[in-house]
Amino acid sequence: MDQTSILYPSLSFIFLLLCLNLLFQSKKQPQNLSPSLPSLPLIGHLDLLESPVHRFYHLLSQKHGPVFSLFLGSQLFVVVSSSAVAEECFTKNDVVLANRQKLITGKHFGYNYTTISTSSYSDHWHNLRRIGSIEIFSSSSLNAFVAIRKDEVQRLLLKSMLNDLTLNNIMRMVAGKRYYRDEVKDENEAREFREVITETFRKGSTANRAEFLPVLNWFGGYEKKVKKIGKKLDGLLQKLVDEHRRMKQENNDNGSMVDHLLNLQQSDPNYYTDEIIKGLMLNHPEVLKKAQAEIDTEIGQENLIDEPDVSKLKYLQSIILEAQRLHPALPLLLPHVPSTDCTIGGYDVPGGAIVLVNAWPIHRDIQSWDDPTSFKPERFENDDSQSHKIMPFGLGRRACPGSGLAQRVMGPNPWLIDSMLRVGKG
């Protein structure tokens, strides 16, 4: 077979794909789409993405404005980098933007999009949110696990990763088990858990290009890899649920969140299935010196800080807010998907587009913050309105339901702060 007989059909096929791509994008684009930049057929702007993505989007916003559009493959993305437009998203358009993007990871890690973070805005999601607010993340539930949080911080070495502290805190509250560092009951189970969690975070923390260009999935096997990890994760979670079910039958439960959810399952077995249960399942010495002085004054040099004491430590709370402003855990908030056509920042956004709010530049906007790149906790001390301008856990009805737990575990953790500020004091 000569090369010409192969070349012509190949060129014809490529030309057909280009035409289909242009036709598809022209149908999807509204008349008043937010500013964008030239894109390539089929892949859109995928070739332009740079890490870290939130900084790359910030650079684009400086050129194209606080609301701009990108095509990742054929998927339209609308990126918001303005506090005023972000407020519009979570007030005027809060219900419209209450859906989530359906990623491959959500399918295999989120029990086919049925967890609170992956579910569409629906009665099912409202039920999950209610369970989380009342049964899991309420103040009374979190207060019941104060001893666990205190114990985990007291075990912490300052040189260790806070990640281990956080995951141990969460797993002891959820399942009554430690999986990191000392006093692990089953080392093989703990090692398997750590490996699966690491793989899950690695795959779930960033969207793979195969999500937007399916041809890459055909050759790279991305979904196959995600599905394999999802099965491992499900196996571990099912093992925990079964173990606690046996303990409950033996009247030997430990009062963990899994035990509480199993109690709910008895009252409504049709709703509280195993799937539902599994799915729920410092370089500034002057700042530290001031915080230490506040602790010595309010709490006393010889006393340890306890959680109720945190409300007295206003400067300490300001430090946490300033840290969350400059270094939010999620610089890009989780994607929102409009259920119908809407308007954002004066631009048309079609239903099914993906809306991203870039919190990183919003937290550093010179129009909203004085000296925005400097670490200045004092900005929060005498102005409560400042704290409402940051969004470390998102905003609106799809804001993180576990923000209260996150604040206690990773926020002004009194025992960790006490160790950090008083270390070396004689």
Residue numbers belonging to the annotated binding site for heme: 400
Could you list the residues known to form a binding site, using ranges: 400
399 exposure class (CB count in 10 Å sphere: 0-12, 13-18, 19+): middle
Per DSSP, the residues of 256-321 read: -HHHHHHHHHHH-TTTS-HHHHHHH----HHHHHHHHHHHHHHT-TTSPP-GGGGGG-HHHHHHHH
Cα separation, 277 vs 132, in Å, equals 11
Count other Cβ atoms within 10 Å, centred on residue 249.
9
- Residues with Cβ within 8 Å of 377's Cβ and at least 6 positions away in sequence, in order, are 287, 315, 318, 319, 321, 322
Nearest to 240 by CA among 258, 219, 215, 263: 258
Dihedral angle sign, alpha carbons of residues 125, 130, 132, 137: positive
Nearest to 345 by CA among 31, 34, 29: 34
> Are 169 and 407 within 8 A, CB to CB?
no
Strand order in the sheet with 67-72: 67-72, 75-80, 354-357
Nearest to 211 by CA among 333, 79, 108: 108
Cα separation, 281 vs 87, in Å, equals 31
Per DSSP, the residues of 136-152 read: ISSHHHHHTTHHHHHHH
